[in-house]
Structure 1
Amino acid sequence: MKGRRISRMQVKFKRNVALVALLAALQAVPSVAQQSFVFNTITVQGNQRIETGTILTQLGIQRGQAVSAADLNDAIQAVRASGLFENVDADLQGGTLVLRVQEYPTINRISFEGNSRISAEQLATLVSSTERRVFNPTQATEDANRIIQAYANEGRINASVTPSFINRTDNRVDLVFEIVEGAVTEIERISFVGNSAFGDGRLRRVLDTKEAGLLRAIVGRDTYSPDRINVDRRLLTDFYQSRGYADFRVQNVDVALTAARDAYVVTFNVEEGPRYRMGNVTLSSTLPEADGAAFGNILRVSQGDVYSPTSIDADVQRIENQALRLGLNFVRVNPIITRDPASLRLNLEYRLERGERLFIERIDIEGNTTTLDRVVRSQFRTVEGDPFNPRAIRESAARIRALGFFSDAQVNTRQGSAPDQVVIDVDVVEQPTGSASFGVNFGSDDGAALVASYQEQNFLGRGQSLGLTLSTGETNQVLSFSFAEPMLFGRDLRGGIDLSYRRTESDYALYNTSNFRFSPSLQFPISERGRIGVNYALTYTDIFNVDDDASELIKEEAALGEQWSNSVGYSYTWDSRRNGVDERTSFGFRFSQDFGFGDTTYIRSAALATAQTRVFSDEVLLRATLEGGYLHYSDGESRVTDRYFMGSRVMRGFRSGGIGPRDENSDDPLGGNAFAVLRLEAEFPLGLPEEYGISGGAFLDYGSLWDVGKQVDGVTIISDDAIARAVAGVSLFWTTPLGPLRFNFSTPITVEDYDNTRGFELTVSTAF
């Protein structure tokens, strides 16, 4: 097809010179220009695919209709403007109007050439031109611009896209987008002007945009994007205001290209303003039916607190929810803040006012090609016909974004069919929510393992989560399956099923074990930040391949054979953190109990409490965690498959099975029915570029594992009492695409001679 490809799309519309001259002549003579024309016959020539009736409809002139010269000109222009024809000519032959058209070709095939960074499948979603539809040059140009913008979002601002076509038979063309991707234009430096309360390094960690560096291939956010900069402005504002800087604002953001046009320099010019604390906090009402005394006891913001708009919004939400519980609709809370610059205090008045009487007519959802409407609707606490509450709608929008199913979610309102009706428009842009992986995992306790996994957070667009993991390694084989429905029966009720099988062949034990667990569960909220979960569990355990040199206690437990047990349990979790807020201080708590029944009767209790805060201008993170568990049998005895073991994820500095009760003769770790550990740690920057994701830390762990709960003839159990150990060390944190890795270098402070310590370990860093 050489020679038939147009190098650059330049489709020129031909003009009917004769017709233009005729119409001009008609209008040049007033008596003629005012003359009416009547066509007894209108014929169309040259059309192949488009019906004559369709063209006549576009022309808008009926046979026998009197039209002026201007009307005739407008009619012909309307046919041209339809975008269906490359050329339109018209001849006046007495009482006959002859319309000659040349149709645009049909698109036979759409292809992309020169692309490697963005796949053809992704590019196809950007273009509006469609195969087997009429080719439109304007549309092709718009498609090319969208592709250019997609490359610009990837940091390739010098990319160029040229739409061209190859002629085929039967008035068809192949539309080809010729792409020159160009090099990545990275962000070389991000700096701040006007900041004094927080350093550049701390503020860079707040931003979604990152600087490019040695690891730019895995950073993914080191290219310039105007949309991302707008998000960064909001993130900075939220960060400062949640720490008391009520007057903070981003004055402007300077974005400049380097001289070589291969990198950006981004500068945020900020104005911090003073840091405020709360002064007097009061509540008043302008409504006779709303007594302010009924709301005062639910306020959480108090005098002396650091100013935080999020805390104020939470109070407003509580007040409005209380009004609804009291049967008061259309009550709005207006938080009125007055400044006291001398004392740097903000006096706050929550004023209850009458809101506008508006009702929700309907909720329209657009953009969700995979996710079902009901998944989005479930994030609204209001339905059609309910009173309209702007704050509730904003909170619903935040919940939709927090799902993680959409790259963008906009919730707007507009006038409904009546003055008191409101239509809520939800526009979402879906993003991938599933992942499949196959690779090698490594941990200091379990060694190397081959891992295959599949995770989907929006299964079949229903908002359900599905997980399947298969791992086979040196010491463990694991198969796990999980499924959860977050809105069971259309309510905030999370139903889940967990199934797992684990087989261990540990180097530190002279026996093997296998465990199976099936557990359905339900979880629901009982307060603003607290949730209750209930569960049932069917458990199978077995101890086999016991070595002759193993502990007699282990042999006795293995002789019991396969064991099945049933249990029911509950859990309570409380978390002070709020979505979307980078908080300085936060707290978390979890407590659970499982009650075993059947051949054995037991109660397994576990608790975890965590507190963390940032100091030194938020540069240093301090965290304290207290964790413990207790297993009590009222009928029967625990086995090694039931008791606790303290690995590196619980207490650092020890080999797996290296702490706690053990057989003096065989040196087998026996586990314990009780454990407790206090973990103190700090995380701080090392002065390296933030985009590397590397920071340092220090830790101190203090705890113990004890109480086998039985005695066996001929077995001497050592360390069966609560003998405390202490370990200190330093850490290196590295955030990688494989996960947040943590390298610990530890040294024992207080340990027993028979403990098995470890000076170095590699783990996956976790947070509560």
Structure 2
Amino acid sequence: MSKNCTESSRNATIHIKSSSLISFIMIILFLSLSCGPRRLIKNNEMDDTLTIGTISFDGAKTIKEGQLRKAMRIIGEGDEYSEYKIRIGLDNIIYYYRTKGFFQAKITSQKGKFYPEKNRIDLFFTIDEGKRERIASINFIGNERIPDKKLSKIIIFRKEEPYDYLKIFTSKYNITSLYAQRGYIYAVVTTSPEDSFLIDNNLVFRIEEGERVFVENVMISGNKSVRRKVIEREIVVKPGDIYSPEKIHASQQKIYATGLFDDVKFEIAGIKEQKTNVDIVFKVLEGKTKWYALGLAFQTPNRITTDIGWGNDNVFNNNQSININYTYTFNFEREVWGNLEVNYTEPYLFSFPIKFSLHLFNEREVTYKIENGSQSQYFANIYGINSRIGHSINMSTELISEIKMKKAIINVIGDYKPEKDILTNSILFAYSQDTRDNIFNPTRGLFLLTSVEFAGSIFKGDNHFIRYIQDISLYRRVTRRSVIASKLKCVYTQPQKGGTGESISVDERFELGGPSSLRGYAESSIGVVDISGKRSGIYLINGGEEFRFPLYKSLGGAAFFDWGGLWLNKEDITIKDIKVGIGFGLRYNTIIGPIRLDYGYRLTDRTEQYKGNVYFAIGNAF
């Protein structure tokens, strides 16, 4: 009995000496209400709701207590006490044990410890898990078209493993999917009932294969301005083909990937009636093909960017696209950056599944640098054309070849008369793989780019090198809304014709540091100082880890670790030059990626005055 209850009893005893029998009975009733195990005094200051404190399990040797609390589902710690919900929760635990092969599991005792001053009760349950049944043998019955050996490879458990309902259910799904891929979409897979399994621990998959299904017709509806031919060439399933869910979904994705439609759905006519010949109907909702864009953004440390663009995704009514974009950036030191781009894409070159694109660009830059106490201006006017041919192996993989021609006019004297026109002609070969679920804000998947570029030599020009690039980003979902993102980028540039790093012009070098590469450092602050006053190099390594997690609705947080190094000459490469930065940030998620605010703190090259760097940017760092 609690202290409050004891004091109430003592006061009641004193009162009994001078009161009648009726008063005594009333006091007993009062005590039963105030000190009972289920309810406290109900008044203006106290709540009469009995809540559950902790839930503990004794005897749970195989399954962890946390998992058992989750298995209760209907009730948990902190909830209002309910004997009915507790009973259902215990039944859920026994069911969970059965799905894991403990068919004799039972609750042997239930206890509670009541805390009247907190109106809380802790629950204690004792479990007898019993014997865990194991699968002695696995057999398939009814499979005539797919052999046992093939089916055995797609089930996710083996003989002598413990019985696990989830693994068995997943294996049934895998078998059904395999049959569907071969056109047997009406195949039904069942397994041994529990009581039958417990006789000899033999797990039997019973398969009703059904008839193979074929595609009779492929139809399209909803298209008004988009030609039927544009849609048909994206459909990989044809009349007369064996019905394949994979091909139908791939066709849906390819139609949507044209960018001409806001929505793409499909219906299967005849599948409800289990016909052996079905019709596939792709229903499309056309979107706007012409677009305009106007943007204004602030970029740390002190840049303001304006952007204007126009595009048409169906220029000649054959899914050709063209877009023009101009970006103008300036800061309060009168430095300016301008970038004009024109892009044209032909998705089917000469009606073959080869994508052709043309990219014209002009980049202008006016910046200032201070050297030996004097300030000078850096001018750059770079323009060129890139011609690319790509072939998609599948929805996520592409082979690319690109011819690049560029002319750079660079001057640091103070007028716009060029010292030299620098020509760079090159050819690039690349392999790209992109399995990200969202290109703007991925939660799982992989981005991989491997390329080799040959510049100069037989292609002439002023830059002569061979460059290898390996760029990898990996995204793994930790919980339903939290993600770990990893990146690694390596660049190796080998100067040709006896050249060195200094022989590679500044417009063909790489930069490191800032919000998109190595946070904790200022933008372009790692490497060797070049003629523009920034730092650059041709040998690069840059990695990072970022943990992204939700905070409230669209607001999220991140903690990151970046590292990397940049060198101009190979003989200067040393691990001592690797820079490291850590930090955290906030994310506001939008449909085009997050708006982020990061604080980065470098662990290398610190000084007494250094307080870290703050970055404001749109889009993820990687």
Within the candidate set 516, 541, 565, 1:704 is matched to 565
| Alpha-carbon distance in 1 for matches of 2:223, 2:278 | 22
| Alpha-carbon distance in 1 for matches of 2:609, 2:452 | 30
Within the candidate set 288, 291, 294, 1:435 is matched to 291
Residues 480 and 284 (structure 1), Cα distance of their counterparts in 2 relative to 1, 3 Å cut: farther
Is 2:212 aligned against 1:356?
yes
Q: CA deviation at 1:739?
A: 5.7
| Alpha-carbon distance in 2 for matches of 1:458, 1:282 | 56
Amino acid at match of 1:661: V
Within-5 A mapping of 1:403-414: 403-414=258-269
Match of 1:258 in 2: none
Contact 1:358 1:422 in 2 (8 A): yes
Amino acid at match of 1:761: Y
Within the candidate set 742, 760, 763, 2:596 is matched to 742
Within the candidate set 344, 351, 358, 1:483 is matched to 344
Deviation per CA, 1:99-149: give whole Å up to 9, x if none: xxxxxxxxxxxxxxxxxxxxxxxxxxxxxxxxxxxxxxxxxxxxxxxxxxx
Match of 1:627 in 2: 489
| Alpha-carbon distance in 2 for matches of 1:491, 1:310 | 40
| Alpha-carbon distance in 2 for matches of 1:757, 1:697 | 20
Match of 1:564 in 2: 423
| Alpha-carbon distance in 2 for matches of 1:315, 1:706 | 54
Q: Number of matched residues?
A: 458
SS at match of 1:506: strand
Match of 1:646 in 2: 512
Is 2:280 aligned against 1:424?
yes
Match of 1:613 in 2: 476
Match of 2:411 in 1: 544
Residues 707 and 348 (structure 1), Cα distance of their counterparts in 2 relative to 1, 3 Å cut: farther
SS at match of 2:236: coil
Contact 2:596 2:620 in 1 (8 A): no
Match of 2:452 in 1: 593
Residues 320 and 447 (structure 1), Cα distance of their counterparts in 2 relative to 1, 3 Å cut: same
Match of 1:376 in 2: 231
Q: CA deviation at 1:504?
A: 1.4
Residues 442 and 331 (structure 1), Cα distance of their counterparts in 2 relative to 1, 3 Å cut: same
Q: CA deviation at 1:393?
A: 2.9
Is 2:392 aligned against 1:525?
yes
Amino acid at match of 1:495: F
Amino acid at match of 1:481: V
Q: CA deviation at 1:728?
A: 1.5
Contact 2:368 2:533 in 1 (8 A): no
Within the candidate set 658, 664, 678, 2:525 is matched to 658
Within the candidate set 733, 736, 744, 2:587 is matched to 733
| Alpha-carbon distance in 1 for matches of 2:229, 2:294 | 33
Amino acid at match of 1:766: N
| Alpha-carbon distance in 2 for matches of 1:404, 1:667 | 40
Residues 289 and 458 (structure 1), Cα distance of their counterparts in 2 relative to 1, 3 Å cut: same
| Alpha-carbon distance in 2 for matches of 1:302, 1:508 | 66
Residues 486 and 301 (structure 1), Cα distance of their counterparts in 2 relative to 1, 3 Å cut: farther
Amino acid at match of 2:356: G
Q: CA deviation at 1:659?
A: 1.6
Match of 2:538 in 1: 673
| Alpha-carbon distance in 1 for matches of 2:613, 2:168 | 43
Contact 1:363 1:423 in 2 (8 A): yes
Residues 623 and 426 (structure 1), Cα distance of their counterparts in 2 relative to 1, 3 Å cut: closer
| Alpha-carbon distance in 2 for matches of 1:495, 1:512 | 33
Within the candidate set 668, 672, 682, 2:547 is matched to 682
| Alpha-carbon distance in 2 for matches of 1:564, 1:754 | 44
Deviation per CA, 1:416-465: give whole Å up to 9, x if none: 9xx97644333222233443122323322671133211244454553344
Is 2:562 aligned against 1:695?
no
Within-5 A mapping of 1:257-268: none
Contact 2:263 2:285 in 1 (8 A): yes
Contact 1:402 1:579 in 2 (8 A): no
Within the candidate set 350, 357, 369, 1:496 is matched to 357
| Alpha-carbon distance in 1 for matches of 2:204, 2:259 | 35
State TM-score, norm by structure 1.
0.50
Contact 2:600 2:612 in 1 (8 A): yes
Match of 1:765 in 2: 619
| Alpha-carbon distance in 2 for matches of 1:339, 1:450 | 66
Contact 1:285 1:292 in 2 (8 A): no
Within-5 A mapping of 1:264-275: none
| Alpha-carbon distance in 2 for matches of 1:381, 1:436 | 33
Deviation per CA, 1:310-362: give whole Å up to 9, x if none: 999899888887x7xxxxxx56695846599999xxx99797957435343x4
Shifted more, 508-517 versus 496-505: the winner is: 508-517
Deviation per CA, 1:255-277: give whole Å up to 9, x if none: xxxxxxxxxxxxxxxxxxxxxxx
Q: CA deviation at 1:707?
A: 2.0
Contact 1:682 1:697 in 2 (8 A): yes
SS at match of 1:375: helix
Amino acid at match of 2:220: I
> What's the RMSD between the two structures over aligned residues?
4.8
Q: CA deviation at 1:638?
A: 0.5
Within the candidate set 423, 429, 433, 1:574 is matched to 433
Residues 391 and 701 (structure 1), Cα distance of their counterparts in 2 relative to 1, 3 Å cut: closer
Within-5 A mapping of 1:199-598: 334=187, 336=189, 338=191, 353=209, 355-356=211-212, 358-360=214-216, 362-389=217-244, 392-401=247-256, 403-414=258-269, 422-444=278-300, 447-459=303-315, 461-474=317-330, 475-490=336-351, 492-507=353-368, 510-526=377-393, 529-546=396-413, 559=419, 561-577=420-436, 585-597=444-456, 598=460
Q: CA deviation at 1:685?
A: 2.2
| Alpha-carbon distance in 2 for matches of 1:575, 1:731 | 26
Residues 301 and 374 (structure 1), Cα distance of their counterparts in 2 relative to 1, 3 Å cut: farther
| Alpha-carbon distance in 2 for matches of 1:356, 1:481 | 50
- % same residue: 19
Structure 2 unmatched ranges of 5 or more: 1-72, 77-98, 100-134, 198-202, 331-335, 371-376
State TM-score, norm by structure 2.
0.61
| Alpha-carbon distance in 2 for matches of 1:300, 1:547 | 72
Within-5 A mapping of 1:143-158: none
